[in-house]
Amino acid sequence: MDEASTIEEYKLYELAEKRAKQKFIIQLHVGIYIGINIFLTMMNVITVVVAALTIIPTIPLLPQLWVFYSWIGWGAGLLIHIIVTKTKSPMLIGFFTHGVVSLMLTIILFYINIAYPPIPFFFWVIFPLVAFIGAFTIHGVFMLLYKKIFREDKDGKSWFDRLIEKEAGKIREELQKDV
């Protein structure tokens, strides 16, 4: 193998590694977004239906469905995360971005909870706050354990190395189609 092809292979590997990281991070966060929002939706619908059936049946249900704010707010944050992930952003910037977005969203949700109180008054903002603190903690732990996830196993390759090889194969196929 000559020097030029070695350099090209190295650049290909770097590009494949970057794409693999981006895909992994985006898929992870989309999965978390879907899972948590399914849980929040179920919790909101159940509490609204129980309140409507047992306490005051004449309350309109739509103003009590606060979960839409979570979908929109977190969805905007997820979109920002996808955009940031597509750039050359280090993991630490992503960690602090999550912290700032979570804090801002908690403040907005606190306002919504106070401005549009459910009947009877229930301090529901605690649930998303606990979820944010848990997610932020998990994110921090993941950041600390990042190297362990990408450590080599017995055959000398990590899970992530195999993912990179798969991406490199896709890139090679794309390049061969273009030729």
User: What is the DSSP code string of 128-147?
Assistant: HHHHHHHHHHHHHHHHHTHH
Q: What is the pLDDT of residue 7?
A: 63
- Which amino acid is it at 82? I
Q: How many domains does the chain have?
A: 1
Tens digit of pLDDT at every position of the chain (179 positions): 555 567 677 778 888 887 888 888 888 889 989 998 998 888 888 877 777 777 655 555 556 777 888 888 788 878 877 777 766 555 667 777 778 878 888 888 888 888 777 767 778 888 888 888 888 888 778 777 765 566 656 666 777 777 788 888 888 888 788 76
Q: What is the pLDDT of residue 65?
A: 75
User: Which two three-digit tokens encode residue 39?
Assistant: 């849980």
pLDDT, tens only, 61-93: 556 777 888 888 788 878 877 777 766 555 667
Q: What is the pLDDT of residue 72?
A: 84
- Which amino acid is it at 43? M
For residue 64, what is the DSSP state? G
pLDDT, tens only, 152-161: 566 667 777 7
Residue 38 lies in domain: 3-178
* Residue-by-residue DSSP string for 2-63: -HHHHHHHHHHHHHHHHHHHHHHHHHHHHHHHHHHHHHHHHHHHHHHHHHHHHT-TTS-SGG
- Burial of 27 by CB count in 10 Å (0-12 exposed, 13-18 middle, 19+ buried)? exposed
Q: What is the pLDDT of residue 173?
A: 84
